[in-house]
């Protein structure tokens, strides 16, 4: 019996901890993709839909209010989903050109030359950064 209540306490404790951490301690995610803010918005809409269902169940919302709010959220969800799918195929950024191994501007003294050189005519140092 002691073991059982310990297990229950552990499960409840981790559950509370998970909810608590998720609510306030997680940092804002970095925008890693052009659709990151849309994915975030989508998650918010799902959250709102869950809240609506909860409020309906506890009697804070009437069935009519629930249906009306749900319709608005579902419409927004469809828009967001369409935007995510629409931007997915067209958002291939051009890759930057790799820098040439030789340069016509000295990285050490800044001298300019008409042609790319291996060594600077001014300071004699290698023109390109050393690569191994």
Q: Among residues 37, 50, 75, 108, which is the contact residue for Zn ion, using CB under 5 A?
A: 108
Contact indicator for 116, 102 with CB cutoff of 8 Å: yes
Closest approach of Cβ 45 to Zn ion, in Å?
A: 58
Q: Is 36 in the site for Zn ion (CB under 5 A)?
A: no
What tokens appear for 106 in the block? 């000295």
Closest approach of Cβ 119 to Zn ion, in Å?
A: 8
Name the one residue in this structure whose structure tokens are 């909860």.
54
Q: What is the number of residues in the chain?
A: 132
Between 68 and 107, how does the x/- string for binding to Zn ion read (CB under 5 A)? --------------------------------------x-
């Amino acid at each position: 019996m002691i073991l059982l209540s310990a297990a229950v306490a552990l499960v409840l404790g981790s559950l509370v901890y998970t909810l608590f951490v998720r609510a306030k301690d997680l940092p804002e995610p970095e925008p890693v993709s052009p659709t990151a803010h849309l994915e975030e918005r989508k998650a918010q809409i799902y959250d709102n839909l869950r809240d609506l269902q909860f409020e309906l169940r506890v009697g804070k919302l009437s069935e009519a209010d629930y249906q009306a709010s749900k319709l608005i959220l579902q419409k927004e969800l469809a828009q967001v989903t369409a935007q995510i799918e629409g931007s997915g195929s067209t958002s291939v950024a051009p890759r930057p050109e790799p820098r040439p191994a030789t340069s016509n501007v000295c990285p050490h003294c800044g001298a300019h030359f008409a042609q790319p050189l291996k060594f600077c005519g001014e300071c004699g140092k290698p023109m390109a950064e050393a690569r191994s």
